[in-house]
Amino acid sequence: MELNYALEQLSLLQKKMYAYNSASSALYLDSVTVAPKDTAEGRGVALGILAGESQKLMTSPEVGELLSFLSEHKSELSHVEQRQVEELQRSYERMSRIPADEYMEYAILTNEASDVWHKAKETSDFALFAPVLEKLVNFNIKFAGYYDSTKAPYDALLDEYERGADMAFLDEFFGTVRERLVPLIKAIGEKPQIDDSFLHRHYPVEAQRKFSDYLMEILQLDRGHCGIGETEHPFTLEFNNKDVRITTNYKEDSLADSMYSVIHEGGHAKYELGIRDDLQYTCLTGGVSMGVHESQSRFYENIIGRSRPFIEAIFPKMQEFFPEQLKDVTAEQMYRAVNKVEPSLIRTEADEMTYSLHVMIRYEIEKQLIDKTLAVKDIPQVWNRLYKEYLGVDVPDDRRGCLQDSHWSGGSFGYFPSYALGSAYGAQMLQNMEKEMDVWTAVGKGDLTGVSAWLGDKVHQYGSLMTPAEIVKNACGQFDPTVYTDYLTKKYTELYHL
């Protein structure tokens, strides 16, 4: 094989994968936005074929030969090409180790599990979901061995979402979180509560849509390259660095819900839009990991979006969009209201302070499930005990308890910790950013140019060219969870006069 020919084939292979992914994403986007409700069947057929074809392509002997040829000529490749070969080789080996029949069986199971979970959640019936969940757990334990048989199964699964993160690292991280934040949350609970009732006045959807447009402008999201839609659960979907879509969900009795969804998803979008052009249509585009992605969305949502300077900057505009609702409210009251801490049952509605504890509970349960020290049937009991212990709340039913998240029904075990890691990475990015520039004067004027440029330079541009650990090192330096807990302690000590 000629090297030039091999490189052409490498590029073609990645473009084909991009095409399959784009087609699947477009079908998915259609299904959750504009598709009529009884149209899932035909899309299912198409999605099944697309998944099968891309699996076939990525595990074909020709691709195996191509990648091993290029690995042998590694020294003649550019750095970007070397990284492409490494990443593709990794997924080639990983996918080739999963027997095709097991892969199919698992795909069918997750499809079925999603239905069962929806029904179980609706009726708050964990016993209905338990048998399917047990199968999913067993599949994941088996797959963990295919991913990396040298690791403990849960470590191998964690590595899928945040390469390099393992139980030793996370035990230490969550240990710090537990030790510092649990007492802080208790102390906050003993203080007079912040009044956020004005956030729940009537906010018509039409006015909220205009407010979203304004927020996207503040975030400097180019509407020619970033669309906004409406779905039940907000998300970000990227095709390439010139085409990213975010969604939000409007609730007329809540101003903050959609506001922070737009800022959060906007943070994800900024990451995807900021990736270098030369990484497009290759396996190196796309945010590097779930944890780093969440670090960006949470940076915009919490560190910037829930800061006093940012609220002061946008508050006059908020009053223009909602003159009646906010006429008797000050910027300071708004700042305090969007930072109200209230231990609650639902992770996705949790405040900045208690959020990581929701994640920690899921981490502790997953860890025991995958190493088989916890039986599936005992999940509700452990879940409810941990919610009482860490957050002081009583779980009234499984719908608002262990059945609330869709992750397990989709076969995702090891995904949750990324949410908490992202918050911690973000706090450390802020610390470094503050050393290099005056962050808050500009933010106080509603100007996020400097913040975006810093994150673009340290994180966004690289896509997946570096590993998650390298990106974190580049933007945060040595990872230290106390920077995160100190950030929260300082902010909430002032807010709640602790």
Binding site for Zn ion (CB under 5 A): 297
Three-state secondary structure call for residue 243: strand
Q: Of 55, 52, 47, whose CA–CA distance to 26 is shortest?
A: 47
Neighbours of 244 (CB within 10 A): 23
Our CB check for Zn ion shows the closer of 302 and 339 to be: 302
The reply to whether 162 belongs to the active site is no
Give the Cα separation of 229 and 234 in Å (integer).
9
Q: Please, which residue, 297 or 404, has the CB nearer to Zn ion? A: 297
In whole angstroms, the minimum distance from the beta carbon of 429 to Zn ion comes to 16
Question: Per-residue b/e over 144-180, b at no fewer than 16 CB within 10 Å?
Answer: bebbbeebbbbbbbbbbbbeebebebbeebbebbbeb
C-alpha pair distances (Å), 477 with each of 164, 319, 469, 473: 16, 40, 10, 4
Give whichever of 234 and 343 is closer to Zn ion, judged by the CB atom.
234
Query: Residue 407 Cβ, how far from Zn ion at the closest point, in Å?
Result: 13
Which residue of the chain is nearest Zn ion when measured via CB? 297
CB of 268 to Zn ion, least distance (A): 6
CA distance 393 to 400: 11
- Tokens representing 57 are 């392509």
Query: In the complex, what is the shortest distance from the CB of residue 289 to Zn ion, in angstroms, rounded to a whole number?
Result: 12
Burial 358-391 (b: 16+ CB within 10 A, else e): bbbbbbbbbbbbbeeebebeebbebbbebbeebb
Q: Which is nearer to Zn ion, 162 or 312 (CB)?
A: 162
Q: Among residues 265, 294, 301, 364, which one is catalytic?
A: 265
Instruction: Answer whether 210's CB lies under 8 Å from 192's CB.
Output: no
- What is the spatial distance between Cα 347 and Cα 341, in angstroms, rounded to a whole number? 13
Whole-number Å distance between alpha carbons of 328 and 198: 9
- Which C-beta is closer to Zn ion: that of 186 or that of 233? 233
Task: Supply the minimum distance, in Å, between the C-beta of residue 373 and Zn ion.
Answer: 30
What are 66's two structure tokens?
A: 């191509």
SS3 35: coil
160 vs 312, beta carbon nearer Zn ion: 160
Pairwise CA distance, residues 254 & 198, whole Å? 9
3 state DSSP class of 203: coil
Q: Which of 332, 14, 290, 318 is nearest to 160 (CA)?
A: 290
Q: How far apart are CA 92 and CA 465, in angstroms?
A: 18
Identity of the residue, 248 or 297, whose beta carbon is nearer to Zn ion in the bound complex: 297
Kindly tell me which of 299 and 390 has the beta carbon lying closer to Zn ion: 299
**Which tokens is 205 given?**
């959807």
Residue pair 329/198 in contact by the 8 Å Cβ criterion: yes
Question: Residue 291 to residues 79, 152, 411: CA-CA distances in angstroms?
Answer: 24, 21, 18
Smaller CB separation from Zn ion, 380 or 422: 422
Q: Where do the H-state alpha helices sit in 373-446?
A: 379-386, 417-436, 439-443
- Shortest distance, position 219 Cβ to Zn ion, whole Å: 14
Rounded to the nearest 10 degrees, the angle between the axes of helix 100-123 and helix 40-58 is 140
Query: What residues are labeled active site?
Result: 265
